[in-house]
Chains A and B, each alone.
Chain A
Amino acid sequence: MTGAPLRLLLVDDDVLVRSGLRVILESEADLRVVGDAGTGQEALDVAARSDPDVVLMDVRMPDMDGIAATAALVARDPRRPRVLVLTTFEDDDYLFRALQAGASGFALKRADPDELVDAIRIVARGSSLVLPELTRRLIAAQVPRRRPRGPAALPDLTVREADVLRLVAGGLSNAEIAGQLHLSRETVKTHVSSVLLKLCARDRTQAVIAAYESGFMDTAG
């Protein structure tokens, strides 16, 4: 965590959700809401102006939904901003598609404020999955339904990198992986970075999706 506060952009078609979130998040010292938007299209404009670190994105909105807006943001710059999808229900059909479009994680709107703030920090830092258990289950449940299992199309990973990817897909954080594999955190970080690079994944969530979609997790487990 750096000294500068995280810059947040709130995107939701309901102004009450936005104003509520704004007050909740602004009460944290390390978070600052730099803008809000009511539609996906508006979100793209505001994001270009206000340069947020993390975008809190609703999925179902009129005039470009959160999935399309996420895809557009990712296409514009794969590094920044990260997108945290906010959803009303965890079994939302759109959730997986939002992750596939490049969102880094998701959180429930009804989550405890502290959990929400945690999720934002995790997304900004990228050292573990947001809601690891839910994310992993969501991806594991959605991938086989959408795509028939293909041949393992992952690029060549070293044995160690494959181990790390398997644990990342299991929802473990860098620290936990370091404990599991008896490595230092820095080494794990290096392995994770090289896995992300080889998979062309922008973050862990995308790496997990790739791991499941390629059939890597089926052959591994």
Chain B
Amino acid sequence: MISSVAVPWGGAPHPGAPIRVPRAGEPPGAPVGESLGRPVGHDRNVDPFQQFRAPGGRGRLRAVLAAARPGWPGRALYLLLSLPLALTYAALFAALVGSVVLVVQGVGLLLLLLLLAVTRGLAGVERRLTSALLGVELARGERVRAEPRVARRVQRLVLSPGTWRALGWLGVRVLLGTATLATLFFAVAAVVALSVQPPWNPLTAVPLLALVVVVVLVALVALELQARLAAAVVPRLLGAATEQRIAALQQTSRRLADRNRLARDLHDTIGHALTASLLQATAARRTLAPGRDDPLRPVPTDFARQALEHIESNTRTALAELDRALSVLRNDDGRSDGAGVPSGQPAGAAPSVADLEDLLAGLRDGGLPVALVVDGNVDDVPAALGELAYRVVQEGSTNVLRHAGCPLTVVQVVRSEQALVVRVCNERASSLDSRPGPGGGRGLAGLRERADAVGGTLVAGPTPTGGYELCATLPL
């Protein structure tokens, strides 16, 4: 940087003369406008030919044909398939009407649900058909079957807009099938009529032939239009629903937030541990360096040995942290690649109380003896609270590892009528060099804010027995 500022000044004839200091990376003396302007103008000279030719009448026709030609067998097959499919769907609609009538007698309810399930299944088939034959890619639908409980499945089946939009699409398919059938019928009838009915003689042959060609062309255009209509409508009815899109967005932003938090964690934990180890190592080397025996500045004789101990424990903790961070990353990747189907309530997107056992298993591998006690039913805890509870345990247990070594630790999650209480409590610090920093880990401040935001509290502090306790009370 010094040089880029210094160069123009060196050549200045007079200190008071107006001089433009070039910005970083800009070659001194290069005219700004020219170096940038030239290539842009050059591009503009080349472009117009293509731009002007494209909108021309003949060019456009060619372009339309080129766009229409590939994939015509797929579209033809799609339309042909719509004949039997429309029949099936029409039967489904008839059955639906029938089951609605039967609902009065009670039996129809099951039949109705079954038909709705069949509808969703057929929507899946339709999605695959459109992607294979029309080339329209659609996001996979919400998977009602993946829901854990039957009641929830039934609820999603009936309430999910996807079901009713799928039903709408099947209706559209019935109409389209009818249209295709009508087009084919009239085209064939017209061609047959033209070839059989009127007298064919040299005089009438040419106009009749032309008529046949016109009929065939009109039929083809009608069919093409039907295929296009299908391709245009299908994303509206079978594509991702708004709520699905919102859920996907929420998942993405949550993942990004997690990554940010992870980066900050790495910064705080591993960066911190490595820094401390580095300084200890540097200092230890200085005390061991020959010629450092300054009588005026005595160095603690044991310093190097202690430093090595600190480095040892620090790097061990850092490795445990790294392990945790990497497992978070791995899980994250697994989620985004695997069955990351966003559902109405995205289960599996954010960690919850149910994931605590996995978290603690990782810490146990790292050498922390930790037990998990869960009281009450935590299955229907709102996702946001469940995630917060998970974060509290994550922060609390890694803080134990960070500050107190590997003492016996208990994680307790109690669900009562009014609140979810999460406690992380450890016994007296096991390692001698434990550093119970006042206020605890830095992540606590963030957790306290989040607890406040949901109207709860977060308390952390030493226990009378010499251990440490972190307790969050989150109102339900």
Chain A residues within 8 Å of B, Cβ to Cβ: 13-17, 19-24, 26-27, 38-39, 60, 62-63, 88-89, 109-110, 113, 132-133, 136-137, 159-160, 163, 166-167, 170-172, 176, 180-182, 220-221
Contacts and interface: CB of A to CB of B under 8 A. Distances in A.
A88 B271 contact: yes
B406 to A, nearest CB: 18
Contact of A113 (B282, B297, B437): B282
9 contacts: A19-B280, A23-B299, A24-B286, A109-B275, A110-B278, A113-B286, A132-B2, A176-B6, A180-B10
A202 to B, nearest CB: 23
Interface stretch (B63-71, B200-208, B243-251, B438-446): B438-446
Contacts of A13: 437
Nearest to A137: B1
A88 B303 contact: no
Contacts of A176: 2, 6
B23 interface: yes
Contact of A24 (B6, B20, B283): B283
Interface in B12-45: 15-16, 20-23
Given A88-B271, A133-B2, A180-B10, A62 B438 contact: yes
A140 to B, nearest CB: 9
A167 B15 CA distance: 12
Given A160-B15, A181-B15, A38 B437 contact: yes
A170 B2 contact: yes
Contacts of A171: 1-2, 5
A62 B436 CA distance: 12
Which 6 pairs between the two chains have the least Cβ-Cβ distance? A20-B279, A62-B439, A23-B283, A170-B5, A16-B276, A221-B21
Contact of B442 (A62, A88, A172): A62
Contacts of B310: 16
Contacts of B278: 20, 109-110
Nearest to B303: A23
B268 interface: yes
Contacts of B2: 132-133, 170-172, 176
B4 to A, nearest CB: 9
B130 interface: no
B303 to A, nearest CB: 6
Interface of B: 1-2, 5-6, 9-10, 15-16, 20-23, 267-268, 271-272, 275-284, 286-287, 292, 294, 297, 299, 303, 307, 310, 314, 435, 437-440, 442
B435 A14 contact: yes
Listed residue (A22, A88, A132) with the most chain B CB atoms within 10 angstroms of its CB: A88
A88 B267 contact: yes
A163 B15 contact: yes
Contacts, number: 109
B15 A17 contact: no
A109 B294 CA distance: 25
Contacts of B286: 23-24, 27, 113
Given A38-B437, A89-B267, A23 B287 contact: yes
Contacts of A62: 437-440, 442
B282 A20 contact: yes
Contacts of A159: 15-16
Contact of A14 (B21, B272, B282, B297): B272
Nearest to B444: A62
B462 to A, nearest CB: 14
B439 A17 contact: no
Contacts of B20: 221
Contacts of A180: 6, 9-10
Contacts of A89: 267, 271
Given A17-B275, A20-B279, A24-B282, 20 more contacts: A14-B275, A14-B435, A16-B277, A16-B280, A19-B303, A20-B281, A20-B307, A23-B283, A26-B299, A27-B294, A62-B439, A62-B440, A110-B275, A163-B15, A167-B9, A170-B2, A170-B6, A171-B2, A172-B5, A221-B20
A17 B1 contact: no
A50 to B, nearest CB: 18
Nearest to B276: A16
A220 B1 CA distance: 16
Contacts of B442: 60, 62
A13 B437 CA distance: 7
B279 A109 contact: yes
A136 to B, nearest CB: 6
A168 B310 CA distance: 42
A26 B299 CA distance: 9
A163 B438 CA distance: 48
A44 B435 CA distance: 22
Contacts of A170: 1-2, 5-6
B157 to A, nearest CB: 48
